[in-house]
Structure 1
Amino acid sequence: MPAADETTPGLETSLTSQWLICVSCGTQYPTTSRSRQKTCFICDDPRHYTPAAGQSFTTMAALRASGHRNIFMPYEPSYPGPMSPPSPTTSVASSVVDSGSSPTLPPSDLLINRRHPMAQARPDSWKRLGVSSSSIHNNPKAKRLSPQPPKQERYHPHGAMISIVTKPIFAMGQRAILVHTPAGNILWDCITLLDDDTVERIRALGGLAAIVISHPHFYTAHAEWAAAFGCPVFLAAEDRKWVALEIPLHVFLGNSKTDQIMRRSHEIIIEGVRSGFIAVKLGGHFPGSMVGHFNGRLLISDTLLTTPAGLGGWEADAAGIARSRPPGINTFAFMWSGPNSIPLSVEDISRIWEVLKRYEFKSTHGAFLGEDIEDAAGIKRRVLESIQIQIRRMGWTYNPLLTESAPPQI
């Protein structure tokens, strides 16, 4: 973890606006010193890269002044989904599972609350900064930015999602997805730019109840986002070393010493209310890489990479005559590094499928705007077909996955 400026008095906008941000990946570092922060540990990792022009940094203040703005793009699904969270007395074995062989609901410590013991983050980095936990949780400014409207007004009645992207494209160009749940708004993944307009627009939608980030490439400036809205940030414990600055609002999933094997599934609980949003660890790209499961939708980030072929329009030919999707066409790729074209091992891919096949989903939503696939009858089968296509092209002529069939959708 990079060292923060020793003179930092707290996570205040006047200071964080000058913190260095990697131009290539968007990671924000808790320092203003260009003589100290000369490289980016995300870009120096083999999963990413430093651009041909070399390493460079900007700041939040410079990004705001450069003309970059965040665009909000509502997504309206074509199929309805249930909005009520699972009842405490109802079996949810089909949607909440652990990494063991039993598909039954694990103990209640799997339901993660912002007040859960696992939410007690290590305060070392904050002590170095002279910051106490209460400076964020009890920050009047943060509370003003995160009003608490009545529960029934905190989510869209249709469970809609809103993509938030920065234009012109900055860093990796990914989107964050604002998911409206019965327990409040959850931000899936994070982008770097946070300006007054973004804060006001999210406030108008009910604020943020939680942030959940799929993997370290999208950690970006999440500490500043969390402080602005006074909400917890849920990250995989396996990827903790990639956090540039630990804050009291961090919740590291699977970090309990009492866990039997790192839990694979974590439902997000907000002030005692079940959101129905489940963070599912699949690993692969990073050890703790996650997908989000909510309302029959799978938010895949780039834990599964959506391919151009997967987005292709195969319903009709150029004459408008209906046709079928050609055989051998994939929908997803499974990569350790997408930019550097390094695939996952067949063992990693097998582990991903072992977890994912237990879930029912009717659509996938990738890391970038437009990577939305709705196929209620076939999307799960297309995941398995993509796995089979990839491992065959990796040279495998026999593997149990090659003879497996996707479980029927319920």
Structure 2
Amino acid sequence: MSYPICVTCGVQYGGSVSSCPVCEDARQYVPVSGQEWTSLEALRSAHRNALRDEHGFLGIGTEPKFGIGQRALLVEDVLWDCVTLLDDETASRVGALRAIAISHPHYYSSMVEWARAFDCPVLIHEADREWVMRPDAAIEYWSGDTYDLGRGMTLIRCGGHFAGGTVLHRETDLFAGDIVQVIPDRAWVAFMYSFPNFIPLPGASVQAVGAALAPFAFERIYGAWWGAVIEGDGSNIVRRSVERYVAALDGNLMYRP
């Protein structure tokens, strides 16, 4: 069966649909040109995946850009975040997976296709269950604040952008999607409810992100796009970015740590 895929966000649906709740939500958008749909088969004929080194990890990103344009990362045998396009070349390069972990619903893409191809589970926080548009037995919902992936990897529920917003911690690395957003000024990170629509998060939500990460030490922060990497001092950058964000909401736009 050919499953419909939203062209704007790249999320695959499990049956016939006429609208995309993911894009109709305030955190995303429906283009002025209207809703468009495609399929994995059509995507394979017009796009390819670029697979290249991303600061020590295999990155997977679709060219030309499709959907939101994120790239996934292979962290040992765990796929962090996901892209919609999956083809034979990509599967061959990835090899084997023991799990797929995804930060939030904007990157759910064709996660079921990936899970079936690699015979592994997709790990999603239960707080975001409502955003799963193609339910499947391969999806495993976890609860609580952390999930031990083994081999020194931990999923951390930060909330923020989405109620189940998740990051992956491994040794001195934090894989953050855009739950913690890597921005052009690499001395800081950002937090938002909606990035395309410029809707900020309440201060309490940002402080909750900081509190969730406080027990974990990390140097590098990997964002959601090619090159979006902070090379060092990650823990301190998150801490002072939380302070600056909350100060700005309180009217202090000249905050200095």
- Range class of TM-score, shorter chain: over 0.9
For each residue in 1:99-126, what CA deviation from the matched residue of structure 2 results, as whole angstroms up to 9, or x when unmatched? Answer: xxxxxxxxxxxxxxxxxxxxxxxxxxxx
Specify which of 159, 184, 196 is matched with residue 308 of structure 1: 184
Runs ≥4 in structure 1, deviation > 4 angstroms? none
Note if contact 2:44-2:85 (Cα within 8 Å) is conserved in structure 1. Answer: yes
- Residues 54 and 226 in structure 2, CA contact (< 8 A), matched pair in contact too: no
The alignment status of 1:241 with 2:130, answered yes or no, reads yes
SS in 1 for 2:247: helix
Instruction: Map residues 283-302 of structure 1 onto 2, 5 A cutoff.
Output: 283-302=159-178
SS of the residue corresponding to residue 42 of structure 1 reads helix
Map of 2:82 onto structure 1:
190
Whether 1:367 and 2:243 are equivalent positions in the alignment is no
Q: Which residue of 1 aligns with 2:145?
A: 264
SS at match of 2:193: strand
Could you tell me how far apart the structure 1 residues matched to 2:94 and 2:240 are?
Answer: 38
Residues 74-119 of structure 1: CA deviation (Å, up to 9, x unaligned): 134xxxxxxxxxxxxxxxxxxxxxxxxxxxxxxxxxxxxxxxxxxx
1-structure distance, mates of 2:97, 2:142 = 19
Residue equivalent to 2:69: 173
What is the match of residue 102 of structure 2? 213
Q: What does the per-residue CA deviation read over 1:327-370, in whole Å, with 9 as the maximum and x for residues that have no partner? A: xxx61111011111111100101111111111000110001110
Q: 2:12 aligns with which of 22, 28, 36?
A: 28
SS for the counterpart of 2:24 is: coil
What's the RMSD between the two structures over aligned residues?
1.6
**Are positions 1:72 and 2:51 aligned together?**
yes
SS of residue in 1 equivalent to 2:59: strand
**Which amino acid is the alignment partner of residue 172 of structure 1?**
I
Q: Structure 2 CA distance, aligned partners of 1:213 and 1:379?
A: 21
Q: Which amino acid aligns with 2:3?
A: W
Instruction: State the Cα distance separating 1:379 from its structure 2 match.
Output: 2.4
Q: Helix, strand or coil for the counterpart of 1:43?
A: helix
Secondary structure of the structure 2 residue equivalent to 1:337: coil
> Unpaired runs of 5+ in structure 1?
1-14, 77-159, 255-262, 269-273, 311-329, 406-410
* Percent of aligned positions that are identical: 37
Which is higher, the Rg of structure 1 or of structure 2? 1
CA positional deviation for 1:297:
0.1
Q: TM-score, normalised by structure 2?
A: 0.95
**C-alpha separation between the residues in 1 aligned to 2:22 and 2:127?**
15
1:351 and 2:227 correspond: no
Question: Is 1:382 paired with 2:237?
Answer: yes
Contact 2:54 2:227 (8 Å CA) reproduced: no
Equivalences for 1:114-153 in 2 at 5 Å? none
1:338 aligns to 2:195 (yes or no): yes
How far apart, in 1, do the equivalents of 2:61 and 2:213 lie? 27
Measured in 1, the distance between the counterparts of 2:50 and 2:64 equals: 10
Give the drift of 1:381.
1.7
Match of 1:59 in 2: 39
> Is 1:393 the counterpart of 2:256 in the alignment?
no
CA contact (8 A) 2:99 2:120 kept: yes
Cα distance in 1 for residues equivalent to 2:71 and 2:23:
19
Question: Deviation at 1:396?
Answer: 4.9
Deviation track 1:228-285 (CA, whole Å, cap 9, x = no partner) reads: 110011000000011012211211011xxxxxxxx211111xxxxx321110000010
Bigger relative contact order, structure 1 or 2 (CA pairs below 8 A, ≥6 apart)? 1
SS of the residue corresponding to residue 154 of structure 2 reads strand
Task: State the alpha-carbon separation in 1 of the partners of residues 38 and 136 from structure 2.
Answer: 22
Q: Which residue of 2 aligns with 1:202?
A: 94
Q: Aligned residues, how many? A: 255
Matching residue's letter, 2:127:
E
